Amino acid sequence: MGDRIEHDSMGEMRVPEEKYWGAQTQRSYQNFVIGTEKMPEEVIQAFVVLKASAAKANASLGKLDEARKNFILQVCEEIAAGKLEGNFPLAVWQTGSGTQSNMNVNEVIANRGNELAGEKLLHPNDTVNMSQSSNDTFPTAMHIAALLAIKTRLLPNLDTMIQTMKRLEEENQGIVKTGRTHLQDATPIAFSQEISGWRSMLEHARQMIVDSLSGLYELAIGGTAVGTGLNAPEGFADACAAEIAEMTGEPFMSAKNKFYALTSKDALVYAHGALKALAADMLKIANDIRFLASGPRCGLGEIFIPENEPGSSIMPGKVNPTQCESVTMVAVQVMGNDATIGFAASQGNFELNVFMPVIIYNFLQSVRLLSDSLRSFEENCVRGIRPNREKMEENLHRSLMLVTALNPYIGYENAAKTAKLAHQENISLKEACVRLGFLNEEEFDRVFHPEEMI
């Protein structure tokens, strides 16, 4: 297909005939050929919610007629349904305000709406962007996209993982194993207690994430260019936020201080910090699981995990903890994203942060990776964890730290002497204790019960 001529305030541009975008989108498409990262689909969908809500608010305030409102809503429905896929091509690495992506959405809605109307009813700036500025719409879309991604993708997968941990905890009641601190043998622990630690980490991380969402409910819409609300009619901010809340089912509201809402990105920093906490917990849990499953003969070998694929191109029969490795890579990526978001949020000058595309790109990548990783880890590893009871029993009774149970009877220093002798001579604690004359065999048997140490 050929091209058509579109124009903006800077002049004419040739645009592919089959695309609905206009001149400003085409300029950005040509001027920012940087990387492969495109504006996330979640941001485009958030803009759909915003543009539909703005049209409704403008109509309710007498600024927009019903015909134009309805064509905007019709195109928004098409975009939401994926019917205009391929019309949002812009790179993340564009203007730091996200202006060009805002205009990309405006132009697509205007051109497609005019096609439906059979006449030029809609203008990307005057109609679709009415009462708005990129400087308040892009941060508004960021908050909508971030919150919905967490609530619709991340939390459900996290909840499934928590439920699986609860099941494992119940199924492994009564199994006693050696605990470990500093990668060294420690006093006994129930396997169910160890699992409960993992479960509680995830529950606490979940609560932190939920608590962090409050700032995302505040929207910049209505602040327009610098926070003053220039060209937005009185009542627009609240009306638009109310429409967004209605469309999403979430209690979004207009931020009380628009100067803050345009220039500060601390709500996203705070929420991503909670995502980083989840990533840290996931990395720790994955490491615990792969160490406990290490072996099969020369490692700890205290649990069995599913064997999903061959682990080596040269060592026949080798199977690796690949799901654990995937989780840990996701975790470090999220931690890197957190650094990027923190640096980006600290930048920008005066009335506007101009690092917004990179902030939301990294934020949504973290949500997506954590969500998918939780699902994969639960389905392909965690739900299939089984205890190696024999190995746990063997390791438990070989642990020198069981000597801690003797402290009340022979004292700390004598217990230490007992452990050291047992280690040096490669004998049991019982043999060492009796040889040193601290207890006789009957006395030792009466007070030494590892299963009661948990």
Could you report the per-residue pLDDT of 25-51, keeping only the tens digit for each? Answer: 999 999 999 999 999 999 999 999 999
What pLDDT does residue 1 have? Answer: 74
Q: Give alpha helix (H) positions in 293-449.
A: 322-345, 356-380, 389-398, 407-410, 412-425, 429-435, 441-447
Could you report the per-residue pLDDT of 372-388, keeping only the tens digit for each?
Answer: 999 999 999 999 999 99
User: How much is the mean pLDDT over the chain?
Assistant: 97
Mean pLDDT of 363-370: 98
3-state secondary structure of 188: strand
Pick the residue with more confidence: 314 or 220? 220
User: What's residue 184's pLDDT?
Assistant: 95
* Spatial contact of 403 and 429, defined as CB atoms under 8 Å apart: yes
**Quick check: 348 pLDDT over 90?**
no
The CATH number of the structural domain formed by 145-230+256-389 is 1.20.200.10
CB 423 within 8 A of CB 434: no
How far is CA 204 from each of CA 231, 328, 374, rounded to the nearest angstrom? 44, 19, 16
Residues in Cβ contact with 420 at an 8 Å cutoff, skipping those fewer than 6 apart: none
**Domain ranges, ordered by start, for the chain:** 3-130, 145-230+256-389, 399-452
Instruction: Tell me the catalytic residues.
Output: 182, 312
Instruction: Please report the DSSP string for 374-392 in residue order.
Output: HHHHHHHTGGG-EE-HHHH
List the structure tokens of 208: 């932190």
| CATH superfamily ID and name for 399-452 | Fumarase/aspartase (C-terminal domain) (1.10.40.30)
Return the CATH superfamily for domain 3-130.
Answer: Fumarase/aspartase (N-terminal domain) (1.10.275.10)
* Nearest of 374, 146, 170, 162 to residue 268 by alpha carbon: 146
Task: Give the pLDDT of residue 3.
Answer: 95
Q: How many whole angstroms separate alpha carbon 259 and alpha carbon 97?
A: 15
- pLDDT at position 312: 87
The residues with which 181 forms a beta bridge, in sequence order, are 184
Residue 117, Cβ density class (10 Å: 0-12 exposed, 13-18 middle, ≥19 buried): middle
What pLDDT is stored for residue 422 in this prediction? 95
> Which are the contacts of 242, defined by CB distance < 8 A and separation ≥ 6?
57
pTM for this entry: 0.96
Model confidence pLDDT, tens digit, residues 48-70: 999 999 999 999 999 999 999 99
